[in-house]
Amino acid sequence: MTTENPETRGDLPSDHPTPPTGRGKTSYLEHLREGRQKAGPGYRHYTQARKQGIPMVFCWYDGRHIAGIIAKDGGYTFTLKTNKGRLVVDKTDLQFAYRAQSYGAVTQAIRLDERVRSLKNPPVKEIAQRHAIPDETLQQCQQEGKRLRLTMRGGEVLEGRIEWFGAYDIKLELATGKSVVVFRHAVYSHAVVK
């Protein structure tokens, strides 16, 4: 993983719109029962980041990352404002994302599984071929405050407590107190840590 701090590279635009008003929290399973497929917690998270102009770091499978502000969430893509202009990124090419201000604390918490990294796993486009984590497992971990260890397809190992989860994302609070949003399609394996 690259260790250069994206905040010091100038990747972060300084235009920050005023924050929107907050919304109530809804669990993912409640969200599904209510039939609000698009407005899940991940969608709300990225909409808030876009509206507030929050600088984020997005991480690819090979350890590369880029800092930018979400200009548009196109469902399957993000359009990012970076120091090099606009960049359209397919979400399935990404493993996880976090706030740029958390860069040091997040990179400190990431371990690397060299065996998984050496496999050079590509993004998995076919849903049936992705590693599945049952929603019930995630809900139980969240309710009981258990930690979840996720090994990503690129070999990064993230461990933390679940803040929220949805159909496409899991937000983990790491031991450093900072959070990472993991794209579920990029998970290689998972384990519940007692």
Give the tens place of pLDDT for each residue, 20-42. Answer: 333 344 454 554 455 445 568 99
Work out how many domains the chain is built from and give that number: 1
Could you tell me the end-to-end alpha-carbon distance of the chain, in angstroms, rounded to an integer? 27
- pLDDT score at 36: 43
Asked if residue 43 is part of any domain, the answer here is yes
Spell out, as residue ranges, where the chain has pLDDT lower than 70: 1-39
Q: Give the domain CATH number at 85.
A: 2.30.30.100
Tell me if 184 is assigned to some domain. yes
| Model confidence, pTM | 0.81
Taking the mean position of all CA atoms in its chain, how far away is CA 71? 17
pLDDT at 40: 86
- What pLDDT score does 16 carry? 30
Q: Which residues span the domain enclosing 43?
A: 6-193
Closest CA to 170 of 6, 2, 28: 28
Does residue 163 lie within any of the structural domains? yes
Does residue 41 lie in a domain region?
Answer: yes
In a domain, 63, yes or no: yes
Is residue 1 included in any domain, yes or no? no
Q: Which residues contact 36 (CB under 8 A, 6 or more apart)?
A: none
